Amino acid sequence: MIRGTLLYRERSCGRANCRCAQGQKHPALCLVVSENARQRQIFVPKFLETEVRLWVAHYQKMRKLVEELSRIYLRKLETREF
């Protein structure tokens, strides 16, 4: 699992005779993560897209489960139901 957000970007490759030089930029998937209060964008190769999407989904699911557990135990504490 991985904490981050997936973002589609369009970019130019820099080759003068490429279609992106005329405005048809290349689509690219990036994983945006924050580390040490800074955001980083990491290019995700096409062959890893499905796997990285799964990693991000697993993190989101785990995060929701932890929030749910926290609410349950907070209610127990508030109502003194141990």
Angstrom distance (rounded) from CA 21 to CA 23: 6
pLDDT for 12:
83
Q: What is the pLDDT of residue 19?
A: 86
Domain ranges across the chain: 5-79
The pTM of the full predicted model, rounded to 2 decimals, is: 0.76
State residue 24's pLDDT score: 86
Cβ neighbours of residue 49 under 8 Å, at least 6 residues apart? 29
Residues of the chain with pLDDT under 70: none
- What confidence score (pLDDT) does residue 13 get? 82
CB neighbours (10 Å) of residue 12? 13
